Amino acid sequence: MIYVDLILNLTLLVSLSVVSGFIDNRWPRSSRVGVLLQGGLFGGAAVIGMLRPLTLAPGVIFDGRSVMVSLGALFFGPWAAAVACVMTGASRLWLGGAGALIGVLVIVPVAGIGLLARARLNPEAQPPSTPQLYVFGLAVHVVMLALLFTQPGGAGPSVVKQIGLPVMLLYPLATILAGKILSDQFHASLADKALRQFKTIFDTANFGAVITDVKGALTYVNGCFADAHGYQTAELIGQPLSVLHNEGQREHMERLLHQLTTEGRFGVQEVEHCRRDGTTFQMLMTGSVVRDASGAPQCFTATAIDMTRSKALESQLRQAQKMESVGRLAGGVAHDFNNMLAVILGHTELALESVDATHPIHGDLEEIRKAAERSTALTRQLLAFARKQPIAPKILNLNETVEGMLKMLRRLIGEDTALAWEPESCLWPVNVDPSQIDQILANLCVNARDAIAGVGKVTIETGMATLDEAYCASHAGAVPGDFVRLAVRDDGCGMDEATQGNLFEPFFTTKQTGKGTGLGLATVYGIVKQNNGFIDVHSEQGKGTTFTIYLPRHAGTTEPVRASAPAKPVRPGVETILLAEDEPTMLALTRTMLERQGYTVLAASTPGAAIRLALEHYGKIHLLMTDVVMPGMNGRDLARNLLSSFPDMKRLFMSGYTADVIAKQGVLDEGVHFIQKPFSAAALADKVRAVLEEGPS
Ligand SMILES: Nc1ncnc2c1ncn2[C@@H]1O[C@H](COP(=O)(O)OP(=O)(O)OP(=O)(O)O)[C@@H](O)[C@H]1O
Ligand SMILES: [Mg+2]
């Protein structure tokens, strides 16, 4: 019968372990409350066991308190052990009898062994093994039986004889069973917690995560993965993988699944996916297989990164690099070409002056001059695209600038096309060269006119926009900030995607030969870039096009644009000009032009020669006219050098484009005079006179 009683005691122990797990889930053992509750539970269970003890002799009882107190100490530590000890001790004293004192005394070493074992085994870090629990159970009960020998009245040996064998057989086994239940429950709850944490990571990750069964049906997809395909997660669960791929991609998918089954994983792969709306996109995927204990595939897992945004950024970067290098090329060509044009134009003008209008050669010279002028306009556009165009920005209200142009624009687009003007009131100011706004509008309006066959409408609109990161993420070239908008909208033929992709490249045109050079939008692009703005294009074939230019808001107020003074007839020159230019033909030409105006010219082909000439010259030098880029010393340094000896001397720089020496990113330094090559004799005369007649510099 003793075995039956002991087994009944043990069932109490097993149910205690289950309740302990329940408490641990709600009041974890890491909290003081949790530990005290566990102490109370183990103590309480021991007390209940003591109410149905095995009575070995009058006043000598045996029960499962040793196992309960020792396990309470092992799994829940000193506070739980203390509570259990106090409860069982008090209860034993209350029950009384000959064995009461020993019964109380036995509790303490048993709890002590539990605490020692806890320190050694650290059951929270690692579940104790079966042998460890067995040795622990043996130790507890050996000590307990040893203490029974000290039973008063010499009952000890007979008690030990009576229960020694069953206790040593059953109680260590009970310790293993209860210990296993306790640690399994704890580690299962830890695993459950970890699982929830990982699930949260995957549910909220900004990359896609997906699990399929071995047949390829989706059993888990995270929000990011579902979003990228245009679905809700619940809509995808249970669906076959094939819903995410169209016919052409299925073979690739099947190959990957096969690779997973045979090799266990596939490395980073770009895989084409299909959205709900049928559009396709690329995902960067990595996959692996999860196998069961026998090694058979249980499911497939994969992570996926949506490449849409990085592909867009990549193509933007490629486009920007292409534009940059085309810009450098165009700028370089335009610069050298400008020098040649200056010579052609200048000499043609000189020749025209010496030939009578009735002379047969006069007409030919006129044609040469016209062609050279057209070429000059062309190189100007290239320079604008390459952002080498000299500019003098002014703070202005775009509405006023556009209004000043409307009349000219109406003439430009013709009578069949209506021009609507929709300004937004109280526009922020911008800091732009007004002539550049003219260039932008003229180009966009001419393009709009050309896109309209027959009757149509062009609308010019202004507005303000504050762009945030979210807008910029979805619009190529956009940067966050406050911008003034200038939009030109037409209801013309619109553009296909291929045209839109090449729009801003110089010499890209869809117009017939002779009708368009393909420099209009390249110019607009260069101007907008030079002013730190960007362009947004929206076009649909057959529906029309809108070009929206964003120019950065100028922090400050508008200054009225001073109207340029009416041109005065140019006075003939009497002053002396020191001319420095390293290109011999340009030097000779400019010299002739100036001398014909009546100026005395000291011509130097190097900066050194210019300094020498200046120092040797007897009398005043009124103006230094110098090329900006020359070997040995640049124009600005030459001017500085001469300024110490000739403080009153005016300075005029000439160049094919504005080098950074006198202009930062094309913006001329304050008070610097500049004439862009090529120039006509008349333009030169105007400029030289204007500089000479300006107040002291
Ligand atoms: N508003 C528009 N509607 C339809 N297509 C346009 C529009 N604006 C530009 N395009 C297309 O972009 C191409 C390039 O325009 P761009 O202004 O750079 O050159 P172009 O007009 O052909 O020649 P250019 O301006 O040098 O005389 C045009 O040939 C046309 O195909
Ligand atoms: Mg054009």
Q: Confidence class of residue 563 from pLDDT cuts 50, 70 and 90? A: very low
In this predicted structure, what is the pLDDT of residue 129? Answer: 93
Whether the link from the prior residue into 429 is cis, omega within 30° of 0, is no
Q: pLDDT tens across 34-51, in order?
A: 999 999 999 998 888 888
CATH code of 2-198, in short, is 1.10.1760
Collapsing DSSP to helix, strand or coil, 233 comes out as: helix
Element (H, E) at 626: strand 623-627
Contact between 382 and 338 under an 8 Å Cβ cutoff? The reply is no
Task: Work out the burial of residue 215: count CB atoms within 10 Å of its CB; fewer than 13 is exposed, 13-18 middle, 19 or more buried.
Answer: exposed
Ligand 1 binding pocket includes 503 (Cβ within 6 Å): yes
- Residue 493 beta carbon below 6 angstroms from any ligand 1 atom: yes
Ligand 1 neighbourhood includes 451 CB (under 6 angstroms) = yes
Query: Which ligand 1 atom is the nearest neighbour of the CA of 510?
Result: 29
Residue nearest to atom 27 of ligand 1 (CA): 516
Distance 537 CA to ligand 1 centre (A): 12
Rg (CA), the chain: 47
Contacts of residues 271-277 at CB distance under 8 Å and 24 or more positions apart, as own/partner, are 271/304, 272/245, 272/248, 273/228, 273/229, 273/244, 273/245, 273/249, 273/304, 274/229, 274/244, 274/245, 274/246, 274/249, 275/228, 275/229, 275/230, 276/229, 276/230, 276/231, 277/230
- Percentage of residues in the chain having pLDDT higher than 90: 42
> pTM for this structure?
0.56
Quick check: 210 and 223 in contact, CB under 8 A? no
215-229, 475-489, 569-583, 682-696 — which one is most confidently predicted on average? 215-229
- In CATH, the number for domain 205-306 is 3.30.450.20
pLDDT in tens, 341-382: 888 988 998 899 889 989 989 999 999 998 888 888 778 777
Q: What is the number of other CB atoms lying within 10 angstroms of the CB of residue 314?
A: 11
Cβ distance 98 to 92 under 8 Å?
Answer: no
What pLDDT digit, counting tens, does each position of 249-266 carry? 888 888 888 999 899 999
**CATH no., domain 576-693:** 3.40.50.2300
The average confidence (pLDDT) of the chain is: 86
Atom of ligand 1 nearest to the CA of 522: 18
Alpha-carbon distance of 647 to 614, in angstroms, equals 13
Q: How confident is the model at residue 232 (pLDDT cuts 50, 70, 90)?
A: very high
Instruction: Concatenate the DSSP letters of all residues of 169-223 into one string.
Output: HHHHHHHHHHHHHHHHHHHHHHHHHHHHHHHHHHHH-SSEEEEEETTSBEEEE-H
Is the CB of 576 within 6 Å of ligand 1? no
pLDDT average, residue stretch 61-83: 88
What is the pLDDT at residue 227? 94
Q: Is the CB of 544 under 6 A from ligand 1?
A: no
Residue whose token pair is 């059953």: 170
The residue with tokens 């020359």 is 630
* CATH 3.30.70.1900 for the 394-552 domain, yes or no: no
Q: State the pLDDT at residue 681.
A: 83
pLDDT of residue 671: 67
Q: Is the Cβ–Cβ distance between 9 and 63 less than 8 Å?
A: yes
Question: Does residue 492's CB lie within 6 angstroms of at least one atom of ligand 1?
Answer: yes
Which tokens is 462 given?
A: 């202004």
- Stretch 84-91: mean pLDDT, rounded? 92
Residue 560's pLDDT is 47
Strand (E) positions, 400-471?
A: 417-422, 430-432, 456-467
Q: Whose CA is nearest to atom 13 of ligand 1?
A: 509
Where residue 8 falls among pLDDT bands split at 50, 70, 90?
confident
For ligand 1, is residue 447 a contact (CB within 6 Å)? yes
CA–CA dist 375, 192 (Å, integer): 78
Residue of the CA atom closest to atom 17 of ligand 1: 520
Which pLDDT score, from 0 to 100, does residue 565 have? 44
Ligand 1: which of 521, 525, 547 to mutate, most ligand atoms within 8 Å of CB? 521
State the angle between helix axes of 308-354 and 584-596 in degrees (0 to 180), rounded to the nearest 10.
Answer: 50
509: Cβ below 6 Å to ligand 1? yes
